[in-house]
Amino acid sequence: MSDNDFDFDLTPVISLAGQEDLDPLVGYILKANLTEGLTKNDEYRRYAPDHEKYRGAIEHEIRAFGGNSFLNIFRASGPSYREIVQDVADKFDVRYPKDASIETLEDLILLKIAGQAYEKMNQKERQEFLDTLGVGSLISALPKSLPVAVVQAAIQASGASALNFTLIVANAVSRALLGHGLTFAANASLSRAFSLFAGPIGWVITGIWTLLDLAGPAYRVTIPCVVHIAMLRRKLAMKTCPKCGARYARSQKFCSECGQKLPDGDGAVASLPVKADGDEKLS
């Protein structure tokens, strides 16, 4: 990959993602059938299905699909990933400040999907959804119009609840579009949430495709890829418990799964780069 192809908001995530993390991205791309170019790539033909050996081709294809929504005659690499995420946000009618971070943009998109799904849940499903995020006890004290605001507060907070939120949405999108959920270890309550919320979020995704069919098939790739990459960004930024392997936020002192006292600065997964003040910033 050349320096010109490096995308600060996308390349670090793809470069740190493992085989199971990359598999859904490849699945979303391949579902585009005649409009995808991945199967024509030499590295894909040589190494597939070992996704880790053709990461650059996967990243290039995501940006190429994003380019189908832009005038990119003079941009061989496609638009920046930030532009793709902004385009997806615009399609969801998400309001965001021009200087919003990529994490904020991704979170607002996930919140929009989950908010629409939340409206389709019955009261029991809503309660379990909020319980999974660790904010279920608050719902009884809130007006009926405010639970989505509680979800928003949970996703914007750092920590396991925010990661769980992104896992739930990304898993539901995978089940709706690929016919199967994500592959990773999860605790029992989260596994229950995967099953419970796959239906409502799946209905929302189906409705989105109906609305966007006329807007171009590229969104069938960019939207699920943006959702999945948002989840990976959260996942890769977490640390892992040295005793049970559960992921936790850097601010946690004890593991929420096994109660193990957590080390300070040890056992971290590879961290995503932090943009310095002097780095180029798109608006």
| Whether 148 contacts 113, CB under 8 Å | no
pLDDT in tens, 180-235: 888 765 556 567 666 766 777 777 777 766 666 545 678 888 999 999 999 999 88
* CB-based burial label for 120 (10 Å; 0-12, 13-18, 19+): middle
- Domain assignment of residue 9, yes or no: yes
Co-location of 113 and 252 in the same domain: no
For residue 215, the tally of other CB atoms under 10 A from its CB is: 10
Q: How many structural domains are present in the chain? A: 2
The count of other CB atoms within 10 Å of the CB of residue 98 is: 7
For residues 10 and 93, membership in a common domain is answered with yes
> Around Cβ 45, how many Cβ atoms within 10 Å?
12
Phi-psi label, residue 245: left if phi above 0, alpha if psi -120 to 50, beta otherwise: left
β-bridge partners, 239:
248, 268
What would the mean pLDDT of 134-144 be, rounded to a whole number? 61
**How confident is the model at residue 69, as a pLDDT?**
53
The bridge status of strand 239-240 relative to strand 247-248 is: antiparallel
For 36-52, the pLDDT digits (tens) are: 889 999 999 999 999 99
Two tokens, residue 233? 């960004």
In this structure, are 169 and 76 located in the same domain? yes
Q: Which residues contact 126 (CB under 8 A, 6 or more apart)?
A: 118, 139, 147
The predicted pLDDT at position 92 comes to 86
Do 93 and 198 share a structural domain?
Answer: yes
- Tell me: do 230 and 245 sit in the same domain: no
Q: Is residue 280 part of a domain?
A: no
- State whether 159 and 76 are in the same domain: yes
Are 248 and 221 part of one and the same domain?
Answer: no
Do 172 and 264 fall into the same domain? Answer: no
Residue 282 counted as domain residue: no
Task: Write out the two tokens for 81.
Answer: 């990933």
Q: CA 282, CA 85: separation in Å to the nearest integer?
A: 12
Which residues have a Cβ under 8 Å from the Cβ of 140 and sit 6 or more positions away? none
Find out whether 81 and 230 touch, Cβ atoms under 8 Å.
no
Maximum C-alpha span of the chain: 58
pLDDT per residue as tens digits for the range 92-120:
889 999 899 999 899 889 888 877 777 77
pTM, to two decimals: 0.78
Domain span holding position 52: 3-237
Phi, psi of 239 (to 5 degrees): -105, 170
Reported as a pLDDT band with limits 50, 70 and 90, residue 261 is: confident
In terms of domains, do 218 and 250 share one?
Answer: no
Q: What are phi and psi of 207, to 5 degrees?
A: -65, -35
**Among positive and negative, which fits the CA dihedral 246, 125, 25, 154?**
negative
Report the distance separating Cα 162 and Cα 152, nearest Å.
Answer: 9
**Cβ–Cβ under 8 Å, residues 169 and 113:** yes
- Do 175 and 258 lie in one domain? The reply is no
The string of DSSP letters for 78-104 reads: -S-HHHHHHHHHHHTT----TT--HHH
Q: Is 64 helix (H, G, I), strand (E, B) or coil?
A: helix
Average pLDDT (243-253) is 66
